[in-house]
Every structure is written in C-alpha cells, then in structure tokens.
Structure 1
Amino acid sequence: MRLLAALDFGLTHESVVATARALAPALGLEAHLVHVIPDPYFQGLAHRFPDLAPLLREALDRVEARVREALGATGLKARVLRGLPAFAVGGEAARAKLVVLGQTGDDPLERLARGGLARYLLHRGEAPVLLVPPERPLTAVRRIGVGLDESDASLAAFRLALSWKEALGAEVLGLHLVSGEGGCCYPTYLDPKGLSLAEVLEKAEAFLRARYTPLDRLLVTKGEDEADLVELARREKLDLLVLGSKAKRTWRRRLGGTVEAALQRTDLPLLVVPEATVW
C-alpha cells in the first residue's frame, strides 16, 4: 500500500516531502509523490489560437521535464500528471492508504479559499487525508490527540490512532467536549437535564472509557464551540490531531462541525479519517 503526497511547489512543498519521507516507512507504506500540471487552460488557448499551439506544447514539455527532475531529486517515487488537479489527484488517492497535502493560509478565510483540493478529497471520503502546515512537517510523533464522541466516525479515527500509536511509539490522548443544551457538543448519550456539569462530565468520561479502550489519557471538558477542541489540542502540545468525518450528512455538513472548525483554525498537522476507514 502507498502513501500519496500531492505537491504544488508552494509554501508547503518541503513540509509535505519531509512528512512523506518520515511517515511512509514508519507506517509500512511506500511513498509516492505526485504533481499535476493544470494544462486544460493552455489546451483551450491552443484550440482558440492554433498559432500558439507549438509554443504552448514546448513550454509544457519543458515544465514537465523540470518538475520530474525536481521530484526525482527527493529520492522518492514520483509522477507528473497533466489535467485538473482535483480530479487527477482524486484518481490517484483512490488507490492510496493515506493522502498527505499541505495546509496553507494564515487566517480562516484564506485557509477556506485555498483548500479546494483538500476539501474535494475530504468530501469524497475515500482515504484518510493528512494536512500539514508549512513549518510543522510530521516527522516525529510523540503525542496523538483524537476527538471522541459517540459516532462511528469517531470510532474509526480512534482505531487508526491506535494503529499509529503502535507503529510510531506515540501516546494517544482522547479529547471530548461537553456543552450545554443548544451548544456544539450536547451529549446525546446522556440526559443532562437535571444533572450538574460535574455529573455530566463524570458520566461522559465513564461512557467514553467504556467505548474507547485502551486510552493512555482522556480529557473531558466543557466547551460551547467546536473550535474549543482546537484550543485544547494546542494547550496539550499535540503533534497530531485526528478527527473522524461522517459519511451520512448533507453536503454542507458532510465533514461535521468539528472538522470544519479544525480545517479553518488549527496550525497542527490534522488527520481526517472517513467513517468507513479500516486501517
């Protein structure tokens, strides 16, 4: 099985390559790099202006040769494709065990605007997607945090985190938020009406410890917004945050509120695990 790392030679290029080089052997995968040259625009120009066709063809051939040379210098297997990046990488991702992408942007709006490829793959839900920021390649994993609730998506994320724990020698920390009624994380497995916050937290911890075992540590805390989980992950100095994505949702809420919040806010490496994942 292979780890697929999609590269665009942007801010995250080195981070993605370093992550692929470190993670693939540790997880028993073969690293494959892929870069897509988006040529449909140039094909359209050549069709509209036939006199440009030879020049455009020559330019694209030179670009492809230079990209192949750069990827070959990494010492990892690599492919250069032409086409629409989302579709080309999506086809490759269907045959991968893990996909690694760069996560760029300094503010939530920029992250949202520049995350087209990541969102496309996340919504397809065919493979776990690991997003790494420019300055934080995932080369050493000591502490893995996994968001837990009562869902099957959360269970898939937890099982993957346990597998990575064994392979990487890491600690797994369970994270769970409890909100009041109407908040982000109202516990459907409890009836908190008439219970104090302390009682709800105690019962939630007991429920999660019974459902998710073995856990190195479990943090159950109050939170009224999905972004509170990201702040909790920062405070715990995690190397990696793992979240499950739900398959049976509307398109707008396909990934779940916590994943959406993490995509826009976290500066940690983020691993999004589809509900149907079996690692």
Structure 2
Amino acid sequence: MRYVVGCTEDERGREAIALARALARAPGAELDLVHVLPGPGDQLRLAQEREYQQYLAGRADAWLDKALALVPADVTARKHIRTADSFAEGLIEAAEEFGARLIVVGAASKGLFKRFTVGSVANALLHASHVPVALAPSGYRPPRDITRLTCALGTRPGAETLLDVAVDAAAMRHVPLRVISLVTLDAGPGSSAAEVESWAKSHAEIALAKAVEGVAKRTLVTAAVASGDSIEDAIERLDWDESEVVVIGSSRLAARSRIFLGTTANKMLRALPVPMVVVPRDHVRLDEQPELPADSD
C-alpha cells in the first residue's frame, strides 16, 4: 500500500511529510516522496537551459535525501523526481505509476496556523485526482499515533460509500470512528429548525447503526451532529483531537472515481484545525488490507 507525498523545499513540504508519517502507521504502508520539476519546453533545447534543469534536479535530489531522513526507520520510503507541466499533474501521474492509494500534500504556506488555505497544487488535485487526497493544515506536526477518524457525512449520493470507506479505514487502523451528520448544513432554506434537528438526529442514528454493524466490534463508533449559523461555525462548535483525521467525500458533481470538492467540503476545509482526506466519488477503499502470511506446514 503506497502513498505518494508531494515534497517541496519549504514548510508545506515538511507538513506533507509529517501527515504521511502519521498515516503510514497503517500496516503495510509505504511512502513515495515525489518532487516535480517543470516540464522542459522548447527553450530547454538550449544547452544553458538543460544545465539549469540538471541543477534543479541535483538540488531536488539533495533535498529529498533530507526528506527521507524525516521518515521513521520502520517505514519504507523512496524518493522520486518527476517532470511534468504542473506539480499536481506530476503527482497524479506518479500515483498512477505506483498504484498509490493516496496523495498527501501540505496546505498553502500563507494559511493561518493549523488552518487550510488551498493553494494551486491542492486545488488542482481536488478537481482531478482519481485517488483520495490528504491535506495537512498549516503548522501541522505529526502525532505519535492517529487517535480518531472522523467521517463527515451528508445525505447526498455517495454518502453510504464514504461511510463504508471510513469504517474500513478505522477498523484496519484500530482507531475509534466518529460519524458527523452534516444534515443541518445540507438543509434547504424552507426547513424549520425543529424539522432540521429531528432530521439530523435521525440521520446520525442511522449512520451510527450502519457504522457499528460495519466495524463488527473491531473499534469504537460514536456519532455527532454538526450544526451552527454557518459551516465554519458548525465546525468550530465540534470538539477536535489534534491527533485525528477527517474523511469527507467529493461533490455529487464529480465524475465517477474523480474528486470534485463541493461547496460544503470547501468551507469545512478552511475551518478545520486537523488534516482532511477527500475521497473520490464511488471510491471503495482508502487502505488495502495487509496480506496475511501463508500457513506453513
């Protein structure tokens, strides 16, 4: 099970590695640290430009050696330099080449501490990737272990698949799963407060029952309702563990097996103080189950 990590020579790159380190605690996880150089245009036919490209590659290789040193010795990690028209394109191509289950990147460096400001690379990934994308907030530091997985769940198409993905990931990692009902954030302007509250509680109870059945006693499951005057307000009212990760689905407008970040998810992203994993539409699994050793006679 391989994760592609977008590595840049700045704080954003270190935050991506920090999140990848935390996620790599899953059994069988391996990290591919990838730096993408701009694709050579016609001007690079000139010897001087080719030499500059070689200089950039050498600098990237030296920095990737330092990045590898940040990965714990018990986690398999490799370094790669790719060339593409954009950083996001290079990461997507690397994920396809390696059969990666996840792409990990850092938030834009101008974001508030432990908040997301979606930069151009993350934005491109969140509109094109065919595998889940994990985003580290600004200032993120790796916890010793991920202590909880939170699944932010609405009622729109794809919600049931997302819950299955979250249940699978929590059970495999042996961490508690919290299911957050986003019904109040999906409610239309014509709904009364009492109707929305009743609907939200019912939705949370149904999701909780399905999650409990899915984990089959492999881990603890709880449920909560996100409510507030705005999406940001709802997120702020919930309690957050610095060592948890949020899983959310892509918009119903996304093409099959692709990510397209919807309005609710985008606003959540900017308010969250913890990492977020965005799962493509109709995606069935976040992690591969590790193979069991064959019985020896």
**CA deviation vs aligned residue, 1:40-65 (integer Å, no higher than 9, x gap):** 4xx56545xx4733642552353244
- The match for 2:74 is none
Given candidates 129, 135, 151, the residue that maps to 1:146 is: 151
Give the letter aligned to residue 185 of structure 1. D
Deviations 1:174-208 (A, max 9, x none): 112444xxxx42179xx956955654444344443
Partners in 1 of 2:200 and 2:25 — Cα distance?
40
- Calculate the TM-score normalised by the size of structure 1: 0.78
Equivalent residues in 2 for 1:219-258 (5 A)? 219-233=224-238, 235-237=239-241, 239-249=244-254, 254-258=260-264
Identify unmatched segments of 5+ residues in structure 1. Answer: none
CA distance in 1, matches of 2:193, 2:229: 19
Indicate the SS of the match to 1:26: coil
SS of equivalent residue, structure 2 residue 241: coil
Q: Indicate the residue corresponding to 2:207 in structure 1.
A: 208
Letter paired with 1:56: Y
Q: How many angstroms does 1:111 deviate by?
A: 5.2
SS of 1:12's equivalent in the other structure is helix
1:35 Cα deviation (Å)? 0.8
Quote the residue 1:20 is aligned against: 20
Output the amino acid matched with 1:143. R
Deviations 1:195-248 (A, max 9, x none): 556544443444434554447111125334222343244x24361111111252
Q: Does 1:106 align with 2:91?
A: no
Structure-2 residue corresponding to 1:186: 187
Residues 91 and 103, structure 2, Cα contact 8 Å, conserved in 1: no
Q: Tell me, what secondary structure is at the counterpart of 2:126?
A: helix
8 A Cα contact 2:65 2:79, kept in partner: no
CA–CA distance in structure 2, aligned partners of residues 144 and 194 of structure 1: 29
1:86 aligns to 2:82 (yes or no): no
Match of 2:169 among 140, 161, 164: 164
The Cα RMSD (Å) is 3.4
Deviation at 1:3? 1.1
- Cα separation, 1, equivalents of 2:202 and 2:53: 65
In structure 2, the gaps of 5 or more residues are 72-76, 214-219, 286-297
Question: Residues 139 and 31 of structure 1: is their aligned pair in 2 closer, same or farther, counting only changes over 3 Å?
Answer: farther
CA distance in 1, matches of 2:90, 2:158: 27
How many residues get paired? 264
Distance 2:51 2:226 in 1: 61
- 1:272 counterpart = 2:272: no
Identity %: 22
Mapping 1:2-151, distance limit 5 Å: 2-38=2-38, 40=40, 43=41, 46=44, 50=46, 52-53=48-49, 55-73=51-69, 76-83=77-84, 84-94=86-96, 95-104=99-108, 105-107=110-112, 112=117, 115-133=119-137, 134-137=139-142, 139-151=144-156
Q: Secondary structure at the match of 1:242?
A: strand
Give the Å deviation of 1:268: 0.8
Does structure 1 retain, via aligned residues, the 8 Å contact 2:116–2:272? no
SS at match of 2:278: strand
Local SS of the residue matching 1:126 = coil
Corresponding letter in the other structure for 1:115: G
C-alpha distance in 2 between matches for 1:160 and 1:130: 14
Residue 262, structure 1, aligned to residue 268, structure 2: yes
TM-score, normalised to structure 2's length?
0.74
Q: Is the 8 A contact 1:37 1:85 kept in 2?
A: yes
